[in-house]
Structure 1
């Protein structure tokens, strides 16, 4: 019997070689500069995107893939398997889940189930990777759903923004908060909790902010999977990786650059950690 196919969206930030090796289909989200539309990491890759973002007077806009795009991909996957598990980013913050759901309802020759991960970037990515590994090992659709839903409480992400400018320009926080952050050179730490973006704390220096990231992650319990994510900040990602490597095997730390959609809202210079804690 063919393996269950695993689908996600490009907000999972899974490094392409890893996604390809695990047969993960990532549907590209959309970013627009003016009237020109690009597919995330198909027509526009992170290096070019961040260069344009830094020099653009206005923010790009972002949107979910069209329902028809999901339908086309579901039909293609249905030629290889009669079961698909779609694991998507936070449904309450994006139209991605709904577009995928509507498309799935229009496909009759395959059993499609969807999960709202309530996560983004590699905290979503780890759920997708877990499912893909288990699918390759022959797990059933119901087993995969139970695996992902069981892992959701154990997956976490925390990040440091280099600036509040892009979050403020994109309407993600008030102008006063952005002004304070700029004047005080605050490095805000943010996380995702129950599908919501929440502030963790404000730290006055980059050095201390990175230290706090490590402290929070290592203090969360035994770690099963670990990824460092950045937005046009490879040097910072390397520093964080080296700090984590004092405790966790460096060759098991995945490094990923977030793409245009999330990058529009966090701006360049952000770095974060996504991890899966082990079972107690």
Structure 2
């Protein structure tokens, strides 16, 4: 029996079925409405999140798991003799990694391996799935952690939003920017660079956005690790399935998984957000 226990956080946006199949445990982030905290995808799902936003007219705050949350999650497995491998949300976007590192200090050195994905959503998830593959192969936690750190800069993630409403409510753009963006149907496409979100492209209209995402795949297709590519969406499953099919048809990438964004990612991106994640070899 392998003595490595794999953990991630709720922003990985992997399905419950995938998490269960590969024995991956999640330490959830928090969604906070009017001072009340909800564990992402445990106490509240994305549908309930959007209903709450419509009801209250405000976006929730989000918060990282505390060091105590991590300690309580890790300790039972440490006590069983397992080593922990934790892969989490970019340290440039959240204190999640910092808090995991604080918890790791409470255990003997080397027992808890914390990996900063420098990514979000399925950019985290694709690393987690790679780690799960290595655990099945029988690699030790330290070996996997070393491989993960080498793989982090090879993960490529693009994200697009469909509405400026959530950026405006979240204070990430002004009312004028939101109004102009909405009127012109401008859709920003972002890319994770060194753990931070940067605007990579802007397109007018949904069809051009999807075309732009597919162009990114086409540009990298000769170097993509075809063992796994993710398309993530927040209430945009039809578009996500379309992108999956186009990737199959155009680029002969065999394993394309469609997943649904959880509450934390959706609270920042809004409905109809789309993203793609893959690894460059």
Q: For the superposition of Structure 1 and Structure 2, which TM-score range results when normalised by the shorter chain? A: over 0.9
Residue matched to 2:277:
274
> Could you list the per-position Cα deviations for residues 231-258 of structure 1 after superposition, in whole angstroms to 9, with x for gaps in the alignment?
1111221222222221356862111111
Query: What does 1:106-121 correspond to in 2, within 5 Å?
Result: 106-108=106-108, 111-121=111-121
Tell whether the 8 Å contact from 1:160 to 1:272 is kept in structure 2 after alignment: yes
Structure 1 residue ranges without an equivalent (≥5): none
Task: Give the deviation of 1:214 after TM superposition.
Answer: 0.4
- The secondary structure found in structure 1 opposite 2:43 is coil
2:239 pairs, out of 226, 236, 259, with 236
> Could you list the per-position Cα deviations for residues 197-241 of structure 1 after superposition, in whole angstroms to 9, with x for gaps in the alignment?
000111011101101100112211332221110111112212222
Residue matched to 1:26:
26
> Could you list the per-position Cα deviations for residues 49-101 of structure 1 after superposition, in whole angstroms to 9, with x for gaps in the alignment?
22333443111111011221111111022133431111111112101111111
Verify: 1:223 aligned to 2:224, yes or no: yes
Q: Distance in 2 between matches of 1:252 and 1:63?
A: 33
Tell whether the 8 Å contact from 2:13 to 2:122 is kept in structure 1 after alignment: yes
Residue matched to 1:181:
181
Tell whether the 8 Å contact from 1:30 to 1:38 is kept in structure 2 after alignment: yes
Residue matched to 1:169:
169
Residue matched to 2:204:
204
Structure 2 residue ranges without an equivalent (≥5): none
Q: CA RMSD in A?
A: 1.9
Task: Give the deviation of 1:171 after TM superposition.
Answer: 2.4
Query: What does 1:4-83 correspond to in 2, within 5 Å?
Result: 4-83=4-83
Task: Give the deviation of 1:116 after TM superposition.
Answer: 0.9
Task: Return the TM-score normalized by structure 2.
Answer: 0.92
Residue matched to 1:262:
265
